[in-house]
């Protein structure tokens, strides 16, 4: 059924006139809406074509737990404080055993004794590349949660708020009283989490999703991406610095990135906690130097982690294909000399298969002077006669 629906959408995209589709995204919106029930929970979507302003928003003004996606607003505030002379990225911070927190990342596995100092720059890399919770909490304590929220409000992003460290979030979502146990060191914390009973965890998760802490709307998160892309966060150079950091994200490769061409450039930040599976990022479209801003947030989702990832990937691919096959400037770039085809509507070779394992395997990233690449997956996508 999914294969037939995707096939029908692509045939329609290929045969429709650009002029009609430039003004009407209702079919794209309808296809996205069909995917949302799969999450078996709340889903909010905001998609915007940066250059034209064309936008698709579904439940985009509702508030969702950001989970680790809130590390992007923290990063923004950090760069504002650097611009104000309050900190330097080369400043070193002592990492104490009490700074090693539960959750994602590798600091808690690598540093288990006093005597480690890390620069703010290194802490940023850990926070944004591998979503290290310990590094994020050190940075949040450095800039202040209230300052992050105030900064978002000053930018007009009134739904984005940061209240807790990741450690506090995980405690609240798991049903552990942070005021009583928040100062336990990591080995004791692991024992505490292992002892949580199912009933306590379920009740705590339900309460967690209702609390309006560390939340954002998809629309506001997309607006933050837009401000970054426009060069409005501090200045052009700083905004570009943030984008380059986001391009190095190594988590959630089966979400926005999951079904895109393997050479697609994506600058993004993921987040996951309980029933929330999130991704927010800038997708670079080929050929014309255009961009898509995509934010997909979920809450109280009962679908499996792989199913949620898949939903985000399919939403992103629908949007990607729509704007590839329907350029809003109505002008395709010239074919290279000697090309077998003179236009996308004259010849398009493509194959479909949706037998990709769920989720696609995490792959090793290779550092190079160009965009980060991923090794091929056993999966074929739409292919056109145009060079990528």
- Give dist(CA 371, CA 348) in Å, integer: 27
User: CB-based burial of residue 366 (10 Å sphere; 0-12 exposed, 13-18 middle, 19+ buried)?
Assistant: exposed
| pLDDT tens string 6-39 | 555 554 444 444 444 444 789 899 999 999 999 9
Where do the domains of the chain lie, and which CATH numbers do they carry?
2-62+252-325 (3.40.710.10), 68-210 (3.40.710.10)
Pair 149, 157: CB distance under 8 Å = no
Q: Check whether 51 has a pLDDT greater than 80.
A: yes
Tell me what pLDDT residue 20 has. 42
Nearest residue to 303 via CA among 272, 279, 277, 271: 277
pTM: 0.80
**Residue 87: is its pLDDT beyond 60?**
yes
Q: Which residues contact 199 (CB under 8 A, 6 or more apart)?
A: none
pLDDT-derived band of residue 332, with 50, 70 and 90 as boundaries? very low
**In angstroms, rounded to a whole number, what is the distance separating the alpha carbons of residues 189 and 167?**
11
The mean per-residue pLDDT over the stretch 181-208 comes to 89
């Amino acid at each position: 059924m999914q294969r037939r629906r995707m096939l029908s959408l692509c045939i329609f995209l290929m045969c429709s006139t650009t002029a009609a589709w430039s003004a009407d995204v209702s079919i794209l919106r309808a296809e996205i809406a069909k995917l949302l029930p799969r999450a078996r929970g709340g889903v909010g979507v905001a998609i915007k074509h940066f250059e034209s302003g064309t936008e698709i928003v579904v439940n985009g003004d509702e508030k969702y737990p950001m989970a680790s996606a809130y590390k992007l607003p923290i990063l923004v505030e950090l760069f504002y404080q650097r611009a104000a002379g309050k900190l330097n990225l080369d400043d070193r911070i002592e990492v104490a055993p009490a700074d090693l927190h539960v959750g994602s990342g590798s600091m808690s596995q690598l540093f288990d004794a006093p005597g480690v100092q890390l620069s703010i720059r290194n802490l940023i890399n850990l926070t944004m590349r591998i979503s290290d919770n310990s590094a994020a909490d050190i940075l949040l304590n450095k800039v202040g949660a209230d300052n992050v929220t105030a900064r978002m409000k000053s930018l007009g992003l009134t739904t984005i708020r940061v209240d807790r460290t990741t450690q506090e979030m995980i405690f609240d979502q798991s049903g552990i009283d942070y005021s009583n146990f928040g100062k336990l060191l990591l080995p004791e914390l692991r024992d505490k989490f292992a002892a949580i009973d199912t009933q306590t965890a379920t009740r705590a998760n339900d309460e967690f999703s209702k609390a309006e802490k560390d939340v954002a709307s998809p629309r506001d998160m997309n607006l933050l991406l837009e401000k970054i892309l426009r060069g409005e966060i501090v200045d052009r150079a700083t905004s570009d610095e943030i984008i380059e950091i986001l391009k190095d994200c190594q988590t959630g490769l089966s979400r926005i990135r999951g079904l895109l061409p393997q050479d697609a450039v994506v600058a993004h930040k993921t987040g996951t906690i309980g029933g929330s599976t999130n991704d927010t990022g800038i997708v670079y479209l080929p050929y014309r130097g255009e961009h898509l801003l995509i934010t997909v947030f979920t809450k109280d989702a009962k679908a499996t982690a792989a199913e949620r990832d898949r939903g985000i990937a399919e939403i992103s691919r629908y949007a990607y294909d729509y704007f590839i096959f329907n350029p809003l400037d109505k002008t395709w770039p010239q074919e290279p000399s000697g090309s077998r085809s003179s236009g996308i509507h004259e010849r398009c070779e493509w194959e479909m298969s949706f037998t990709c394992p769920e989720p696609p395997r995490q792959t090793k990233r290779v550092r190079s002077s160009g965009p980060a690449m991923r090794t091929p997956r056993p999966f074929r996508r739409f292919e056109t006669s145009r060079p990528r």
